[in-house]
Amino acid sequence: MIDKTENRSPMPQVSLASLASLGDETKCRSGFTPRFSKGRAACPQVAESPNLMRLLGDKQPYQECEQGSGRSPSAHNDGKIPNGRSEIARYLAPLLFFVASCSTQPEQGITLTVDGIDESAGNVPCYIVETPSATYYLEKQGGGLSSMLDRDGVDWLGFHKEPGSESKGEYRGFPNAIHRQDGSYFHALNAGTDPSTSRVKKVENDFVRIVFDSGNGKWQGQWDFSADRCVFTMNEVSEGYHYWILYEGVPGGALDKQDFWYSSIDDKAHSIDERNDIDLPDPEWIAFGDPGSPRMLYLHQHEDDSHPDRYYNMRDEMTVFGFGRKGIEKYLDKPLSFSIGFVESTDYTLVRNAALRR
């Protein structure tokens, strides 16, 4: 399992002396949004600075606010701060609310790193797109995802460019769309992938768009990243040729016999060993899970069709799922869009609803 856990900032430390610099328009640090933690009262971490100690002397502010601790303000002097510290409480109140509301949870923003490197894939150049729900490594020469990390830093793709690694590395990725069909494109670059060129089309706080053009100029793939998903759109299709959209990866970081999948076929959990060769019913979606993970990875084809959608377990080393695939035949021949993302649940209904949200 590849772990690339992202760093998270701690709750800010604030001293009483800093109150003088806080005005009515003071905001939380960039990238943070006001909220309160579940199961915990609004209790900031107030630094024990010399200025604070001199001001308070032996009057320590009341900070016992863990729910279930057996202590609360109402248990002391009818709800008043102990030892008659009403002036301190009045002075601290705005600061306490401000600090408590500056949580460690990021807002719904997206960060793009243009010149990134995916070390786990063999030091391949990539765009790194960090969102609240996932971190995507989009390989810059082949035009496909090499890694897709969940909130815990676990990679559900596991691509590696080493020649001969096959289902242990070089076959993996998303969407692995064009295979020996007027070229081989939109796969993280391996020995069999033809190169593409790319450009960043749009960068906003909550949206990133990157477009890839195949080296022969006949195919175009568009990547749209938002807070809860990535949407790949095949904008241009080489006339007379076909493609498929594949998830070839490792649920929960490694494929094992306890992994499972849901789909639009029914509301049952299917063993990772159970194959599928039929067209998924409208709306077409599938999701993969690991019993050791609290989340699932979903895929959704935005437009229904009558083409087969194939799934099988390849050598107990990776999933092979394809929209518009039967055997090695490809069926998709027009521009279509596909979502991939994580949902923080393993409940069938919640997973389905997340997969179908646009």
The token pair at 347 is 């409940």
**Per DSSP, what are the bridge partners of residue 330?**
325
Confidence of residue 107 (pLDDT cuts 50, 70, 90): low
pLDDT in tens, 313-357: 999 999 999 999 999 999 999 999 999 999 999 999 999 999 999
CA dihedral 98, 99, 101, 105 (to 10 degrees): 150
Whether residue 105 is predicted with pLDDT greater than 80 in this model: the reply is: no
pLDDT, the chain, mean: 79
Distance CA 124, CA 161 (A): 8
Type of residue numbered 314: M
pLDDT at 141: 96
Confidence of residue 75 (pLDDT cuts 50, 70, 90): very low
Distance CA 314, CA 167 (A): 7
Q: Which residue has the tokens 């390989």?
A: 139
Task: Tally Cβ neighbours within 10 Å of residue 338.
Answer: 23
Whether residue 69 is predicted with pLDDT greater than 60 in this model: the reply is: no
CATH architecture of 111-356: Distorted Sandwich (2.70)
List the domain boundaries for the chain. 13-106, 111-356
The token pair at 135 is 């971190």
**Per DSSP, what are the bridge partners of residue 248?**
173
The DSSP letter of residue 216 is T
